[in-house]
Amino acid sequence: MTTTLATLLKKSGLEEEGQIPQVLGYYVITLVVGLLAAATGPTLSRLAAHTQTQLRDISLIFTVRSLGLIIGSSLGGHLYDRVAGQRLLAIALSVIAVIIILIPLVSVFWLLVVLMFFMGVAECIMDVGCNTLLLWSLKDKAAPFINGLHFCFGVGAFLSPLIVAQAILLSGDIVWAYWLFVVPILPLIFMIRRVPSPAPVVAPEEKKNHVGNGLLVSFIMLFLFLYVGAEAGYSGWIHTYIVQRNMASETTAAYLNSAFWVALTLGRLLSIPIATRLKPRDILLYDLLGCLGSMALLLLWPTSLPVFWVGSLALGLFMASIFPTTLALAERRIHITSQITGKFFIGSSLGAMGLPWLIGQLFTPLGPQVMLASVGVDLLVAFGVWAILIRLSRT
């Protein structure tokens, strides 16, 4: 892992241009975003217990957090064109640190909902910022580094369930898990302000005709809506699915959840060299076929723990490069401004809000199997949208 990233940095020439601190800062911030994104699923039942809330109702936090992500996407899309990017990242990190400290302490459901909303806002301001600022900073060198950025998200998402599982084992609760997430944030707040903010990039001549291509942007938003819905729906509910069907203990379920993120992280690492050899449209095809095959396996054996280990690993591996590859596909056809990046994240945030909420509404009345069916149908529709998207990107 470190060898691959080190080789990438060495070949890029960023050291001579003094851009390594900038890139590393975006990478660590994205790792923090991954930690937070994967924390909700393994802590869901504990948060419900803290606030004396039923599972059907606690699923509302997925919705409000994703609503915050949508607003954060829109705000970030406008603010990064007007405000120094590093300063905005530092403010968002400060807000996140306070919220993380408070979340495991609250016992009132509506207060937890409010905290989750503002966490979503700050989280997506950071996410939009890291992706946009990296593109602005590295320009034509950015493609492999975008894959590296999303690899760091996977590292954080992989570590998150492990931290939660160990915190529950050692303390019997989730308080220390959330507080440990603050550790990398505090030094980042001070470090990120010392790095200069990259300036917005003017569209090159060959891409000017594609600026504002509304139809293509809309279908990319829809595709990201479906993909992120599947990722959030599976990762957010797999822990509860395993426990509710009495397939394993809370700790084992957390490890299985983490295994999904391990595979996603490994897949994003592998996608760095793959992205230099295959076209984005081909990578997306193989990823989607692999995801559908993985879901078919899980749907055929819905109560087999060994199958869930295999299926979760396969699903994470094939999901790994979908998001960064979609951004790479968009970058080939559209000049990426912060507002367009913000629109992409609005689509993904709506997906993160919609499917997990729907699963939460159906989980108790229809049974845990509704999670697998929902994710499977979502991915099937995504495959159809991919076909339309590829056709549009060729015009």
User: Is the pLDDT reported for residue 212 higher than 50?
Assistant: no
Per-residue pLDDT, averaged over 131-152, amounts to 78
Q: What's 174's DSSP letter?
A: S
Distance between terminal CA atoms of the chain? 38
Task: Using pLDDT thresholds of 50, 70 and 90, give the confidence band for residue 227.
Answer: very high
Mean pLDDT of 261-288: 85
pTM above 0.85, yes or no: no
Classify residue 206 by its DSSP letter.
Answer: G
Closest CA to 335 of 191, 135, 199, 129: 135
Instruction: State the Cα–Cα distance between residues 163 and 158, nearest whole angstrom.
Output: 9
Mean pLDDT of 260-264: 86
Out of 46-60, 74-88, 210-224, 345-359, pick the least confident. Answer: 210-224
Pick the CATH number of 18-198+211-394 from 1.10.150.650, 1.20.1250.20, 3.10.110.10, 3.40.50.2000: 1.20.1250.20
pLDDT tens readout for residues 34-66:
898 888 878 888 898 899 988 778 878 877 887
pLDDT at 105 over 80: yes
Residue whose C-alpha is closest to residue 148's, from 19, 307, 324, 276: 324
Per-residue pLDDT tens over the stretch 13-38 = 555 455 777 888 899 999 999 898 88
Confidence at residue 201, expressed as pLDDT on a 0 to 100 scale: 63
pLDDT at residue 39, rounded to an integer: 86
Model confidence band, residue 6 (pLDDT cutoffs 50, 70, 90)? low
Structural domain boundaries in the chain: 18-198+211-394
